[in-house]
Structure 1
Amino acid sequence: MKRYSPFLFRFLPALLFIGLLSTAVSHPSATLQLQAQHAGLSAEDVVAVRTVSAAVMSPDGRHVAYTVTRPPLEDADRARSTVELFIVAAGGGDPVPVITHPQSASAPQWLPDGRLAFTARLTDHSNQVQVYAVNAAAENLEKLTNAETGVMQFAVSADGSTLIYRSRDAETEEQRQRRSLGYDMMVFSDAPRAIRLFAQPLDTPESRALTPDGWLVQDFAVSPNGDEAIVRKTTNPLADYDLMFSELHRVNLNTGAHSLLTETAGKLGAIRYSPDGAQIAFLGAKVFSDPLPQRIFVLNRDGSNVRDITPDDYHGTIEWIGWKDNRNIWFTAVESTRTTLNEIAATGGRISRIAGGELEIFSGISPDARGRTFAAAVNQRTHPGEAFVGSFRNGTFTRLTHHNSWLSERSLGRQETVRWYASDGHWMEGVLVYPVGYEEGERYPLAVLPHGGPEGVDLDGWNTRALYPVHFLAANGYVVFMPNYRGSAGRGSWFTMANHRDLGGREFEDVLLGIDFLEDKGLIDPDRVGMSGTSYGGYFSAWAGTRHSYRFAAAITFAGLSNWISFTGTTDIPVEMMHTHWDLSIFDNMGQYWDRSPVAHLENARTPILVATGLADERVHPEQAIQLYNFLRLREVPTDLILYPRQPHGLLERAHQLDFMARVLDWFDTYLKD
């Protein structure tokens, strides 16, 4: 679920903390097992994990630049992670730091002259995010831009002469003065400050705007000869418009002239020019109601001959695309619980696998200029993301970094992909983790951790994080089950749309049958089953504890939906939810929206439900948690409400992450073990 929309409810924290939270802000008892048993992963271990999220190969194939998320390693006031930047030799060696804590860097990319460019807010140079560059030895730092409001995204022309970036217009002096006097109202009908495309020669700090007032440029790609760009733009700042109504336009980088490239429907993803600039590929939705931009479209530069080259029988979700040459396209995809690197002709046809499909999980690659090797951020069952180098010739991967070497000292539960069958005969898959110290024949309590979306997916790699503390629960004696129910990514457009007009119906039945499968295997005690999820996974948890209370002994919902009608009226993505998830307008069938709401099924609810959310959540408004908690309390169902100040649609601060994991374990231990 995506980004940006104006905060509607900044007044909520003050109102909610009056009376409502007298017990919610208290800490779990001192007896909580923050440290895991059997030398497994502890809560402190979970928040200490460093994750490589991007890896970029230099054109000559000699160096890899990568970013790694560094969590705060000790309690501090509102401590959050930073993102560090390193360069490592592609053949291996010690990483060389470029930007380290307490600074952060992002978007590394190699320049034609061999330097590494990236964005960062380096306060010694600028109070805004700017583009900087260093040489391959991480020396000779140079600031390349001086954007008044900072750089949001950048690219460099193939000849290295011009830097193209997008940046938001600054406030006018009048706007600044009025805001300083307290006139800071958010008026939805006011025109937003434009997000423009700018061009700047690298030998001068002067830049010029390329796109008109009123445009909100969300993404762009520059042609190989640097004469034009394809821009994905909207004209409304609401998240729904970015997700569902953006357009692709051609922009002349010399004159600023622009025109619509082609008509599109629904979500859009990556944009790529062919090496000769004659063709363009982009990711788009199959239809307006497709939850993901998971199809490859190719067209001529002038917008003619548009075709979807994705085979109709391809059962995967495409995430990244790049041109191998002027006739062939590389792409990475999620296929079931694995990931793959593939090749397809620009005219369509047969797909050839290059790498993947095994234990390496990755979402994109960065090839060298000759197409021999590539860099990727790869995670596996036993470690989070690290920098790897892959081979196009034989599809093998070589690990370069070890940012979490201490994990070798922890015991992790056995992990595998499991398959079962739905009532209509379709096979379903999920990821299963056994308890640390698992003994054959013993039945264990089960923690079901459904992903969000619903078009998310759980892969057979590293899945542990604060809101989904997989190995922490496995270390404390739980079987952990992550089901990919219908509506999930990884099986093609048909599967992500298979839950349309039936949210909470057969998709949830898929999960119940998965639990039955685990019971039949003799792994779990069916009387000790709990569920914990976030966002749409939080909806599943609330649905489990109300409509399906007879099957669940405990439930935990974080940022979960509880009332589809009020959710639609308070979320920043009502259009996306109605069309890509429901495929049904609330005004056409409000009765079904209500029937699939957890608060509509409280009469039989007996399951203890822990309710939690962030107070700065724009996606699933805190009122969803508050009303569920209040209704449960009025029905005398065991419950508690935890509201995390400042937190958006997730948990960013270390203390909050530790607190939530402690409460998850305490809630499950209380109702699934005691």
Structure 2
Amino acid sequence: MKQGIKAEDLYRLRFVSDPQISPDGEKVAYVVKVINQDKNYESHLYICGLNSGASVRWTNGRHKDSNPRWSPDGKTLAFVSDRSGINQVWLIPSEGGEAVQLTSSVKGAGSPVWSPDGKSLLVSVTVEEEKEEENALKPLEVTHLKYKADGKGLLNDAYSQLVHIDVETREETQLTSGAYQHFDAAWSPDGQKIAYCKSRGQGDAISYASDLIVRTLNGTETKINQETGSFSDPVWSADGEHLAFLGQTFEYGSATLGNVYNALVGSGKVVCLTRDFDDHAGDAMVGDIHYGHPSPKPVWSKDGKGLYFIASCEGNASLHYVTMEGDVSQITRQKCHVYGYTMAVENDYAVFAASSPTVPGDLFYASLSNLSEEVRLTDVNEELLSTISLSQPEEFTFINDEGFTVQSWLLKPPHYTEGNKYPMVLEIHGGPHAMYGNTFFHELQLLAASGYVVLYSNPRGSYGYGQQFVKACMEDYGGGDYRDLMAAVNHVTAHCDFVDPEQLVVTGGSYGGFMTNWIVGQTSRFKAAVTQRSISNWLSFYGVSDIGYYFTKWEIGNHVWEDPDKLWHHSPLRLSSKVETPLLILHGEEDFRCPIEQGEQLFIALKQQGKRVKFVRFPKSDHNLSRNGDPGLRVNRLQYIVNWFDDHLKPDGQGGRAHENIAADRV
């Protein structure tokens, strides 16, 4: 009998991303990420022949190779690699041969974009103000709101600039400057202009916003967007007259749906094409192996009358199409997570990178006129999946107290036996403006393999169900969202006789960690809880988080000086005296999104009161430990979660520990 998946199987998982069809339409380049025998991440380029379906590994070594981009003539692949010690742009012949380093930036380079004639590249280079003494110990003078960032630490005066490189002469010309981040560059079809996105200046109170810029090669800049917001992924129409892009205004703060826009470059007129589409244009799916893959830009149709894009809807990330009149249709109908694509619209086909609950991620080929008949191009986890048993989720919905439909899923243990009763874990996603759905999730499969029924749900506040639903938790954290989660638990315990209602546990990270903290302050229904990278005190979060100064206002409704009582009302720390559930607190030492002091405050408050609590601090780990942290620590984290639950459930032999034999295969 096949075993269930283990925490250590993280080392065997392979992840496919960033497919790129060659100009002749005969091949597709893509990236495969793995964890090597030293438990370090590495990634390599592969090329698959679309006629033969055979893949060849194109780069080797213990490096991170990524972002393959074909030259217009298809003879060269530009890519990003850290093989020289820091990310630089490299070139490699598409017929095989040695890679040649193109850039030598002190702070690294990336995001290569070929000019239409193939003679030059735009690359993103980090430029930093010169320091008198590179290694001198000196204080950091802070004058801006945005002075730190999760995953980056304390920020200095370093900004991404766009550099033009002549491929033959290697001559470099810096095109942008100033205290702004420049990203997502795109050449116009005639090679005379570039579009790119530009962050607001550090002195701006809304420094988290970005603008879309069109720049001529002689340096004239024109701002395209007419509203304040966050804009990205510009793509030119074939005639160069239109510029499509993605973005969101901040009408509902961080709960605002993403949209697809079209700008008529000559007149400056901008139209939101998806204004009547009540779902999120973008990939809002949460998971623990897909983090960091490049998000694909919209693609113009062959006739230039519409655009293809990814949208998140009812637990799926699917390909959609929008016309210039704003009519939106869903193109892919499979229950899955499309997280990447590349299209040959002239030849009417596309290659997708897609995942499902039992497929970590692979490439699929399909005609744009008949996407239901897909052909699988890769099966990179065939060896692993042939030896383990995964669980297929069962979907259910219910109507909440506001009349919204709430979508949820159950994972049964892979060796589920009719007639047994099983403990159940409630998993709560972060965001809160994100979405559980039909994608592979190692942690959920591990909990199922450890003998737990896993309940995961999209309560109000989640993407995928319209603007009113996604903003419904704002200024009400711990209100309607809490009721939705408890309603999901009640639905399962009332309708599923295989779930033991006396054996419930709960966990979640980030917002899910906040909600875990809130739940154990409201009820003792759960026998154990694990809170991860959580929020416990909105008053301190405001000043210590890298986003606290605006996120708190958006989500809770007040700045810290406006109504501190409201911030305290929504703080789980306030409820610490009511906590009776054994609580495990997991936190990264270098988390700047939900800083570790949030976990520290909760631990001290509970410990001082003699509550059952343990605090685990993960070194050199930021907010994304579970997705891209040190592989060994990721495995440790998963083991802590399962062991905490196992240790606090009743070992009564009455079916409550029906997972005992399965759990023996875990470690």
Fold shared per TM-score above 0.5: yes
Deviation at 1:489, TM superposition (A): 1.5
SS of residue matched to 2:644: helix
Does 2:444 align with 1:470?
A: yes
- Give the 3 Å change call, closer, same or farther, for CA 107–188 of structure 1 in structure 2: farther
Preserved CA contact (<8 Å) 2:543 2:549: no
Secondary structure of the equivalent of 2:158?
coil
Name the residue aligned to 1:156: 114
Alpha-carbon distance between aligned partners in 2 of 1:132 and 1:85, rounded to the nearest angstrom: 12
CA–CA separation in structure 2 for the residues paired with 1:70 and 1:86? 13
TM-superposed deviation, 1:55: 1.6
Establish whether residue 544 from structure 1 lines up as the match of residue 508 from structure 2.
Answer: no
Provide the residue aligned with 1:664 in structure 2. 641
Amino acid at match of 1:663: Y
Partners in 2 of 1:240 and 1:404 — Cα distance? Answer: 46
Task: Indicate the residue corresponding to 2:91 in structure 1.
Answer: 133
* Closer/same/farther in 2, CA of residues 560 and 93 from structure 1, 3 Å limit: same
Aligned residue number for residue 481 of structure 1: 455
Match of 1:528 among 500, 503, 523: 503
8 Å contact 2:235–2:244 — kept in the other structure?
Answer: yes
Structure 1 residue 303: Cα displacement: 5.8
Matched, 1:312 2:290: no
CA drift of 1:311 comes to 4.5
Q: Which residue of 2 aligns with 1:234?
A: 199
Q: Aligned-pair distance for 1:92?
A: 4.4
Match of residue 437, structure 1, among 390, 415, 420? 415
- Contact 1:297 1:309 (C-alpha < 8 Å) held by counterparts: yes
Q: CA deviation at 1:416?
A: 2.4
1:118 aligns with 2:118: no
8 Å Cα contact 1:446-1:480 kept in structure 2 = yes
Whether the 8 Å contact between 1:54 and 1:376 is mirrored in structure 2 is no
In the alignment, what sits opposite 1:633? 607
Q: How does 1:178-189 map to 2 (within 5 A)?
A: 178-183=133-138, 185=140, 187-188=142-143
Gaps of 5+ in 1: 1-36
Report the Cα distance in structure 2 between the residues aligned to 1:238 and 1:668, rounded to whole angstroms.
47
Residues 1:196 and 1:333: Cα distance change in structure 2 (over 3 Å): same
Amino acid of the residue matched to residue 113 of structure 1? D
Which residue does 1:616 correspond to in 2?
590
**3-state DSSP of counterpart to 1:488:** coil
Counterparts of 1:49-68 in structure 2 under 5 Å?
A: 49-68=13-32
Does the Cα contact within 8 Å between 1:282 and 1:298 map onto a contact in 2? Answer: yes
Q: Report the Cα offset of residue 643 of structure 1.
A: 0.5
Contact preservation (8 Å) 2:212, 2:232: no
Q: Is the 8 A contact 2:392 2:411 kept in 1?
A: yes
Q: Is the 8 A contact 1:616 1:646 kept in 2?
A: yes
Aligned to 1:90: 50
For 1:585 and 1:198, how far apart are their aligned partners in 2? 40
Cα deviation, residue 186, structure 1: 5.3
Deviations 1:174-193 (A, max 9, x none): x1x42323236354459823
Cα deviation, 1:397-449, whole Å, max 9, x if unaligned, reads: 22212221121221122312221121111100123211122233433211111
CA distance in 2, matches of 1:553, 1:393: 52
- Secondary structure at the aligned position of 2:607 is classed as helix
- The counterpart of 1:566, out of the listed 540, 561, 580, is 540
Letter in 2 for 1:122: R
Q: CA deviation at 1:580?
A: 4.3
Shift of 1:493: 2.9
1:267 is aligned to 2:227: no
Structure with greater strand share of residues: 2
Q: Give, in whole Å, the separation in 2 of the partners of 1:414 and 1:459.
A: 12
Deviates more, 1:500-509 or 1:263-272: 263-272
Q: Name the stretch that deviates more: 660-669 or 231-240.
A: 231-240
Look up the SS of the partner of 1:435 in the other structure: coil
CA shift for structure 1 position 635: 1.7
Check if 1:213 corresponds to 2:182. Answer: no
Alpha-carbon contact 2:279-2:463 (below 8 Å) kept: no
The answer as to whether partners of 2:257 and 2:280 remain within 8 angstroms in 1 is no
Asked if structure 2 preserves the Cα contact closer than 8 Å seen for 1:289 and 1:579, the reply is: no
Q: Tell which deviates more after alignment, 647-656 or 259-268.
A: 259-268
TM-score, normalised to structure 1, is 0.87
The whole-number CA distance in structure 1 between the counterparts of 2:479 and 2:367 is 44
Matched residues in 2 for 1:40 and 1:194: separation?
Answer: 46
2:344 aligns to what?
368
User: Where does residue 257 of structure 1 map in the other structure?
Assistant: 220
Deviation at 1:512, TM superposition (A): 0.7
* 1:13 aligned residue: none
Q: Which runs of 5 or more structure 2 residues have no equivalent in the other structure? A: 148-155, 284-296, 652-667
Q: Distance in 2 between matches of 1:237 and 1:615?
A: 26
Please tell me whether the aligned partners of residues 535 and 620 of structure 1 are also in contact (alpha carbons under 8 angstroms).
yes
* Distance 1:50-1:101 versus aligned 2 partners, 3 A rule: farther
CA contact (8 A) 1:158 1:225 kept: yes
Following superposition, the deviation at residue 477 of structure 1 comes to 1.1
Alignment partner, residue 655 of structure 2: none
Counterparts in 2 of 1:494 and 1:274: CA distance versus 1, 3 Å: farther
| Aligned partners of 1:616 and 1:645 also within 8 Å | yes
Aligned residue number for residue 385 of structure 1: 361
Change (3 A) 1:99 1:579: farther
Indicate if the aligned counterparts of 2:48 and 2:56 stay in contact, CA closer than 8 A: yes
Partner residue of 2:621 out of 636, 647, 658:
647
TM-score (norm 2): 0.88
- Contact 1:261/1:302 (<8 A) preserved: no
- Alpha-carbon RMSD: 2.3
Q: Are the equivalent residues in 1 in contact too, given 2:122–2:185 (CA < 8 A)? A: no
Question: Separation in 1 of the partners of 2:66 and 2:135?
Answer: 31
AA matched with 2:517: A
Higher mean C-alpha deviation, range 47-56 or range 283-292: 283-292
**Aligned-partner residue type, residue 530 of structure 1:** V
Q: Are 1:614 and 1:646, in contact at CA under 8 Å, matched by a contact in 2?
A: yes
* Aligned-residue offset at 1:578: 2.9
In the alignment, which of 444, 467, 483 is matched to residue 509 of structure 1? Answer: 483
**C-alpha separation in 1, matches of 2:502 and 2:351:** 47
| Compared CA separation, residues 92 and 478, structure 1 to 2 (3 A) | farther
For residues 321 and 493 of structure 1, the distance between their equivalents in structure 2, rounded to whole angstroms, comes to: 21
Instruction: Tell me, yes or no, if the aligned pair for 2:274 and 2:328 is still in contact at 8 Å.
Output: no
* Count of residues paired in the alignment: 619
Structure 1 counterpart of 2:153: none
Residues in 2 aligned to 1:425 and 1:306: alpha-carbon distance in whole angstroms: 35
Letter in 1 for 2:80: T
Give the letter for the 1:48 counterpart.
R
* Cα displacement string for residues 352-386 of structure 1 (whole angstroms, at most 9, x for unaligned residues): 3322x323321231102515221221112212011
1:222 aligns with 2:187: yes
Residues 344-355 of structure 1: matches in 2 within 5 Å?
A: 344-348=322-326, 350-355=327-332
**Partner-residue secondary structure (3-state), 1:655:** helix
1:201-243: CA deviation from partner (whole Å, max 9, x where unpaired): 222211111113223213332222221222211254699956x
Q: Is the 8 A contact 1:445 1:673 kept in 2?
A: no
Question: Superposed, which structure 2 residues align to 1:32-43 within 5 Å?
Answer: 39-43=3-7
**Cross-structure match for 1:201:** 166
When residues 673 and 276 of structure 1 are mapped into structure 2, their CA distance, relative to the original with a 3 A threshold, is farther
In 1, Cα distance between equivalents of 2:424 and 2:205: 37
Question: Are the aligned partners of 1:55 and 1:366 in contact in 2 as well (CA < 8 Å)?
Answer: yes
